[in-house]
Every structure is written in C-alpha cells, then in structure tokens.
Structure 1
Amino acid sequence: MTKHAEQVLKNNKQQKENPNRQGKTLMIQGTTSDAGKTTLVAGLCRLFADLQIKVAPFKPQNMALNSAVTPCGGEIGRAQALQAKAARLPLNVDFNPILLKPNSDTGAQVIVHGKALTHKVSSNMEAAEYQKYKKQAMQAVLESHQRLTKMYDLIVVEGAGSPAEVNLREGDIANMGFAEAVDCPVLIIADIDKGGVFAQLVGTLMLLSQSEQDRVAGFIINRFRGDISLLEPGLKWLEEKTNKPVLGVLPYLHGLDISSEDALVTQQDNSGSSQIKVRVVVLVYPHMSNHTDFDALRHHDGIDCQFLFAKGSVSEDSSTEKSPDKVVIPACDLIILPGSKNVRSDLHFLRQRGWDTDIAKHLRYQGKVIGICGGYQMLGELIGDPQGLEGAPGESLGLGYFPMNTVLEAEKTLINVVGSLQLNQQSADISGYEIHAGQSTLITFDEERGKDVEFLPLLNIKGEKHGLVTSDGQIAGCYLHGLFDQPKALQLFMDWVGFNVVEAPSIEVLEEQAIERVNKACQQHLDMTKIQKIVDDWYQ
C-alpha cells in the first residue's frame, strides 16, 4: 500500500468517527460532450471505493434515452447505474435526480427523483417550458445531494455537456450552477483525440465567470496516444497560461466499451473474425431508446450486429416530406425492432422508409423478428395515445403480427425482472428491467373467424406468461430490456434463429472488466495525491 493510500484510509477512519460528518463533493466537468466525464467518474468511484472510502456518483441533470430501474422502482440514467456499480452500490434515484428523456426535437419527458411528473405539472415539456421549471428542478437536485452527503464520505459529480455553453448559463443546474450552489471544487477533462485540446481548455476557462474560474482546481487530458514527452511543453504552457495544474494525462484505452450516456455505440470487434455466423440488423429510428440492449450482440464473435440508419425527418403528413431516403433492410437472419420514446412517431418513420415492406419480405424468406418494448408494441394491432403523452393524441395501426392492442398511460411500469426465457421448447434463466408507459392487452378471440387466437408466451415471470411468440415461431417480442445480456439466454435466441454459437462472457463481466481498466488508468496516470489534497483543502 502506498503512503498516499495509507493516509487516505487514516483520514477516512477519522471522518467516520465523527457523527456530524458531512460528505465532501468533487465535480468533473468537460470541455465538450463525450470528453470522458462518465468514464472518469466511474474510474474515480472504483478507485476511492477500493480505498474504503464511502463514495457515491451523482449527476444533477442527465439527458438520455438509456435508463435503468432502481430497486424502489425509480428511473435513472444508465451511466449513473454504471458508476454506482463502480462504487459497489445499489442503484438510488438520488444518484440522478433529474432525467430528461427526449421525445421530439424540442421536448422531453421530465423524470424527477425517478418518476415522471404527473398531475399538477406535465411530464412532457418543451425546451422553453423546462427552462422556466429549472428553479424547481434545482431544488430537487439539492435535496438529493444533501441526502447523499449525509450517507457518503465523498460525492463524485458528473457535469453535462460543457460549462461554457453560454446560451444555457441562466438557471444552470447541470454544471457551474450546481457547483456554485453546493460550493465544490471542479476538475475539467478534455479529449485530446478530437484535436485542439489546449484551445478547448483555455477557451472553456475564459468563458466562465471569475468565481467559476476560481473553483476550477485543475485539468485532466483524456485519450492521449503517442509519446508523452512531445506533449509536455504544451502542458507546461497550459499551466503557466491558466495558473491551473494538469492533474494527469489518461491514455487512449483501445477497445474500451463502457456505457455512454446516449451515444449509440455501433462498433464491434469481430469484423475480421472467421467465427461470424449470425447476421443481425437493428433498426434505428429517431427516438430509439435503451440501445444498450444490443451490447451483448456487438461483443459476440459469432454475431455480425449491424445498425441500420435512415436519413430524413419524421413527418406525419407524407406530402410535406421531401423523398425520405429508402434504405433497404439487407438480407439477414434476424431483424430487431428496439425500444422507442415516441412509438407512434417512430412507427410512422419506419413505414415512410418502407421497412414494413422489408420486414414482410424478410418473413416470407423465413427470417426471424424480435420486438423489444416499443418495438414489441409496433408488432401489435393498434397503439393508442389518448392523452398525448408522446405527441399528438391519437391512434396508429400497428404492423399486425401480434394479437395485441396497446394504450399509453401516464403511470409508467418500472420494474426489475427475473424469470425464464422459453423458446424452441427450451428454457434459460433471464433477468432485466421494464420501462414503459404502454399497457398491452391480448386479443384472445378472433371474431371474424369465430375462434380463439393462438399464441405462445416468450417469458415466464413468477409463474405468469409474458411476451409473445407467433404460432409459426418466426416473430417474438416482449417488454423486457436486457434480453441478450445473459449468455445462456443469448445462446437460446441464436438457436431459435438457427445457429449454434459459443457462450460468451456476460455483459456484467464485460462491464466489470471495463471499470477495472479505467480504475487502473486513473491510478497510474492521475496525480491522486494532488486530487485528494484539492478536495481536503477545499473543505478545511
């Protein structure tokens, strides 16, 4: 154990012996989106946890369509779920008190302390409306932060985007507005791989007010590759120019695949593998959600997982849209319809691109289709949104493959699920989570034909049947996110598609490996003695 680690453990023991202790806070902000804030916070959470410090992650405001379900039935961003795992903590809604889930180009559903706003305040807000709501949102943020400071020794906070976005400064709750409200030190991280790292850091600093500049305690440079000696003159110049220390240069970690806030990760590491057998196509529509469902597919050497994008906007009136691009679904073994934050709009988008016709052709050639959550709803007969929860009130005809009608309701289903997958007269343990506003009802009797409708369940959850498989065995669907995360379940799905693939590591194992890689990089390349001193000195 290093002298620094020994001192940290000693200080931590003394702090725990103080019954009136209040946890300290360190905030990580970035010069841009995707500068590495999420990853750095996860690495620091694991590093401090290994030093036996009670550490918790925190993000005041998150805008993301990737979310996770807490044990109490709340909703937080998946990035904070990953950071909680790094800190070895169960999920808590206070880790992400405000979650914004975009359902249009200008509006989003507002989640406060894990639940969508209801009754007195609409959960769906346009940007201007949310700007007015920010004072109330800040109060929720401060309540969560205060609770955490009473439970933990250190709160490591992730900012959002950049603090230098001058158009968003008024009423800011995500970056410096929060840091000033709780009076904590800030470290700024920049991505050198994008180029212009010194301009990023100096420019960001110069756009801050004097009081904000004063709380910036240092810089961290991320994703460096090359000879560090060639960078050192620039680091010296940066420190002299800003009078702020560079606290470390983190290397580019090749192959690191860690949960991002909302960026769709499409790369896979098997492009040159001779093991590729199963061709999977995931349809990407404008409001696609929970794309982490497909991480296990991307990581599997035996699966070629491709994401199909189509350009163009979503227009309810096809006459006003100028020739939406026709991107044909390529020949494949499995088509996946993922989740959606605006199901009716994305279903319209799918039809405008002719993907409904492509799906029908794929099925005629004996291909398989899976619908997850919103994609599951699209496979039914009808989707109704009488309250206008995701857009204009109304109904949309589904693709008609499942005997099922769906109605969107204000109260969301938010649960963690453990059960079994049932396919091809086989079963496998499965676990995941459900996040959906839609409530689906099966049509059990075909009045036109005067007979019962045949269907098979996909899942068995606590003795109850969930999800559907068509009688011909070609189409499956359910509300469960995380369908492919367990190796045995993934193998069973691929067997259903017609391929025998090897068992791969679980997503949980891969995430743990990624966290440890970042942890080791932080230990080796950050000046943790200085960082600890920054925090300690700030609260003296």
Structure 2
Amino acid sequence: MRGLLVAGTSSDAGKSVLVAGICRFLAGRGVRVAPFKGQNMSLNSFVTREGAEIGRAQAMQAMAARAEPSALMNPVLLKPGGDRTSQVVVMGRPVGEMSARGYHGGRQAELLATVTGCLEELAAAYDVVVCEGAGSPAEINLRRTDIVNMAVARAARIPVLVVGDIDRGGVFASFFGTTALLSAEDQRLVAGYVVNKFRGDRALLEPGLEMLRRLTGRPTLGVLPYAEGLGIDEEDGLGVPPPGRGWGGAARESAPTPPHGEDVLRVAVAAVPLMSNFTDLDALAAEPGVLVRFVDRPQELADADLVVLPGTRGTVGALEWLRERGLADAVCRRAAEGRPVLGICGGFQMLGEVIEDDVESRRGTVPGLGLLPVRVRFAAAKTLARPEGTYYGEPVTGYEIHHGVADVRGGEPFLGGCRVGAVLGTHWHGSLESDGFRRRFLAEVAAAAGRRFVPAPDTCFAGLREARLDRLAALVEEHMDTAALLRLIEDGAPAGLPFVAPGAP
C-alpha cells in the first residue's frame, strides 16, 4: 500500500497535527487520502454518519483529508474511566470495560486482525493512507501487544517518520533513543525525523541535525516552527489550559477584540474529572471577545457571564467533585439569581433531579443538582446519534454519545433536553458550532449578564476550521522536504538503512 506512519518520541509530540497537515497537503494535490489510527485512547470522540464512535482527532484528520469520517479510520478506541480501566470501543461500538492488565494481557492481541483488516479496506478505497502511532513506538514493555505503532508499519510495509517536540528539550536524545530501542526489523522502516515546535534560528539547529544523521543514518525531513493558535481538535486533556487560565478566541486566533466600548463575555467551564468532548468549547473560544477559562473553585464563578458543566466519562464522580469543592452550591446560587448555566451531556445529567447509575459508577440512585426537571437512568446500551433541529429559529446540528437516558418532565424543550429560565441542558455535543444558534445564544447570555457585547456577525466556525487545516498544510509545504515525503509514500523506506545499536554514540 502507499502510505506512511507518523510515530512520536512521546505522547503530545505532534503526531495528530502532523498527520492532519500531511493529509491536507496531499488532498490539496488531488490525492485521495485517508487518516488511520489503529488504537486511540481519548475522551474526545465523535459520531460518524453511520453512527459509529471514533476519536475526535481522527474525525478532524478526515476533515483535513476532505474524506468522510469512518470507523475504519479508528477501529479501536479506549475511553478511560479511571487510572486502571477503560471502555473498549471496537468498530464504533462499546464492547465492555477492561483493566489495563486485562487488555494488554490478551484482548489487544486479538484486535490486531481487526486493525490490519481496516487498514487494508482503506488502502483499497484511497490512494494513500497516513497512519498515526500512539505514545512512542519504543515502549518496550508493550511491544508484544502493539497494534498501533510498528506492528501496523510492519503489516503494511510502510515507512515511518518519527516526530519529536523540541520545545520540551532533549529531542536529539529522544530521536536516537527511540530508534535504538527498536528491533532491527522495525528500524529498517524508520526513514527519518521531524522536529516539531522549534523556536529560534534554524542555523543553530543544523549541527545537531547533521550529527543525528551521522549517528543514525537517517535525515530530518522537516523542522516545523512553534505555531500559536492552530486550534486543532485535541485528542485528550493535554490541550486544556489548567484551571484559572484563559482560553479565548482573541488569544488563540489573534481574532479581533470586540468593538470599542463593548465588554468581554466571560465563560467559566468546570474542570471536572474525566472531562470529555471539551472541544464543545472551541466554537465559543473562537468568538471575538469571548474568554473561556477552566475553573475548579467557586469564587472563580463570581464574574462569569456563563457557567458550563461539560461532558464527563464519570458523571456521578464529577457531581461529587462539584460538591466537595463548593462549586455545586455556587452553581445553584447563580441559577437562583437567573444567571445562565449550560450543561452538556454529563453536565446536563448533573443538573437534573436524580441519577440512577448501575452502569458507569454503579453507585445506584444519586441526587442531582435539582435545577432541571429531569430524571436520568444509565442504560447498558450507549446512545450514538447525529441529531438535527432548530432553536431561536436557527438550524442546529450535533452528536450524542452517552449511556444516560434523560426522562424530561417539564421545562421548555432545548436541543433534546430542556431549560428552566437561564438553566439549559442538552446531550448534543457540537451544537455550538452552528453559527446562527451560537450567536443568538451568546446574545441572550450577554443580555442576562447586562454586558455590552454583540457577537460578531461573520464568525464562521467551519470556515475557521478549514483555515486552520490549510495553515497546517502550508506549514508542511514550507518547512518539510515534501519531495522526500512523496518519495517515501510512493516507494517506501529506502533499502540499506543502518542498524542503530543502543549505546552506539
């Protein structure tokens, strides 16, 4: 097959972003390209048109490739439920909870045939498949059960690029060490390196790149600069600012601030444990004059114009966390004052009267915050849907991923959920990406807060996402050896790449 695998020296080295950039670069040249990640661990997920759940990063990469997201692109998704257990999703459907030891002890090996079968289907349907690894391929303790890194490259006989984050420091040691810890068979597929997040004078880096080539026999095919405001859908919580830090559209995108005399609209998001689909807030953060920040103290809600309770993989645990920190009382006080509160998915469930959970937390019946006339019962089957509707007379689309079934017993209908006064709850992820709805909603929030704030009339979130993906492609074209990249995709790893022995330097 024609393709390559982007591996990393570590998690968050830039694999997802580089795959997206390469996909958009190839799509711009008329190549039919698809992304692929055999196994992903993420709480940010997406529902495809056929109703399958996949990692949000793979959905974003499919958008970069101008391809329809599919379960084939992410056949195995692990959704952590704590430090030691995860829900295992195979071909878009949950198959059960499993401990890390149990998964690596047998189930993972069984899934290799599923992963390679999906890769073969994609290779038959597209010209090129750009694969993403997970973590580092040099996790030697997990090599026996690998189904996402070098096992994929070996099965498909595709070359491997290793990307490293120089902003962390130690990138040359990471490149060398990653290569040296691989077997001779795997090293034959490692064709080169990509430096990510470089700041400063490229000339000062060159001696290190030349020394790396002499030590490993492999070139560096790109040095990507540190780029602010890419705004690409994150795979996990590494992309969320710590509590108390702002995450605003102006800061991320260099977007214009509100016209002179208007206020900034402040959005406080409860930084609940096991937060899922925090990408719901991206559309708010992209709005000029909207400041989104993640909070974990009740006093941080005092000046907020809108409080958001986001999705979470552990609704009951997140509710306890809100109560322990005094955030639950603060949310109830602002609701009594008629100040806006929005709950999305797990956040919606927490706003209800009662939660009956014998599935996720297995805690039985737990009282909710009592702000919405809703009773929630967790079902064994997961709801996966792509709903559409209207609100404020504006079209709204979203996607649903939840075990909790809401029995709405009153209030005003709101996107499949309900609202009572300024408290709104919905299971619809992604609804804020609908531009007209988002603008009307923010105008209502501003009016309730008494803010002089008018949403920008021309913010198009889909357009912003496309511009970000085009920017990634431009970074690839400008800062990578694209001729060498295309040769690798076409011809595979060069023959005769030397073996790098541990301790060789």
1:73 maps to 2:55:
no
Other-structure match for 2:132:
158
Any conservation in 2 of the 1:28–1:156 contact (CA below 8 Å)?
Answer: yes
Q: CA deviation at 1:364?
A: 3.4
CA distance in 2, matches of 1:264, 1:52: 31
CA distance in 1, matches of 2:135, 2:288: 34
CA distance in 2, matches of 1:378, 1:501: 29
CA distance in 2, matches of 1:394, 1:295: 34
Letter in 1 for 2:492: W
Q: Secondary structure at 2:102's aligned position in 1?
A: helix
Structural mapping, 1:264-275, within 5 Å: 264-266=239-241, 267-270=247-250, 273=257, 275=262
Any conservation in 2 of the 1:332–1:367 contact (CA below 8 Å)?
Answer: no
**CA radius of gyration, larger in:** 1
Structural mapping, 1:311-322, within 5 Å: none
Any conservation in 1 of the 2:189–2:493 contact (CA below 8 Å)?
Answer: no
Any conservation in 2 of the 1:24–1:539 contact (CA below 8 Å)?
Answer: no
- Seen in structure 2, the aligned counterparts of structure 1 residues 507 and 269 have a Cα distance that, compared at 3 Å, is closer
Structural mapping, 1:438-449, within 5 Å: 438-443=404-409
Q: Secondary structure at 1:169's aligned position in 2?
A: helix
Other-structure match for 2:492:
538
Letter in 1 for 2:6: I
Letter in 2 for 1:416: R
Deviation string 1:362-386 (CA, Å, 9 cap, x unpaired) is: 2233311111111111111111123
Other-structure match for 1:486:
434
Any conservation in 2 of the 1:270–1:276 contact (CA below 8 Å)?
Answer: no
CA distance in 2, matches of 1:260, 1:297: 15
Structure 1: unaligned runs, 5 residues or longer: 1-22, 118-122, 311-325, 444-453, 460-465
Any conservation in 1 of the 2:249–2:289 contact (CA below 8 Å)?
Answer: no
CA distance in 2, matches of 1:153, 1:104: 39
- Seen in structure 2, the aligned counterparts of structure 1 residues 220 and 105 have a Cα distance that, compared at 3 Å, is same
Structural mapping, 1:191-202, within 5 Å: 191-202=165-176
Other-structure match for 2:418:
468
Q: What TM-score do the two structures reach when normalised by structure 2?
A: 0.90
CA distance in 2, matches of 1:113, 1:538: 28
4+ residue runs of structure 1 moved beyond 6 angstroms?
none
Give the stretch that moved more between structures: 258-267 or 209-218: 258-267
Letter in 1 for 2:281: F
Other-structure match for 1:308:
295
Structural mapping, 1:126-165, within 5 Å: 126-131=99-104, 132-165=106-139
Q: Percent identity?
A: 41
Structural mapping, 1:21-420, within 5 Å: 23-117=1-95, 123-131=96-104, 132-262=106-236, 263-266=238-241, 267-270=247-250, 273=257, 275-309=262-296, 329-386=301-358, 389-420=359-390
Structure 2: unaligned runs, 5 residues or longer: 242-246, 448-452, 495-505
CA distance in 2, matches of 1:174, 1:161: 9
Any conservation in 1 of the 2:296–2:325 contact (CA below 8 Å)?
Answer: no
Q: Secondary structure at 1:481's aligned position in 2?
A: coil
Letter in 2 for 1:155: V
Letter in 1 for 2:419: V
Q: CA deviation at 1:486?
A: 2.0
CA distance in 1, matches of 2:79, 2:205: 39
RMSD over aligned Cα, in angstroms?
Answer: 1.8
Number of aligned positions between the proteins: 474
CA distance in 1, matches of 2:349, 2:113: 36
Q: CA deviation at 1:277?
A: 2.5
Q: CA deviation at 1:273?
A: 4.5
Any conservation in 1 of the 2:164–2:171 contact (CA below 8 Å)?
Answer: yes
Other-structure match for 1:522:
476
Q: CA deviation at 1:328?
A: 5.4
Higher relative contact order (CA 8 A, sep 6+): 2
Q: What TM-score do the two structures reach when normalised by structure 1?
A: 0.84
CA distance in 2, matches of 1:534, 1:382: 57
Task: Pick from 416, 429, 439 the counterpart of residue 395 of structure 2.
Answer: 429
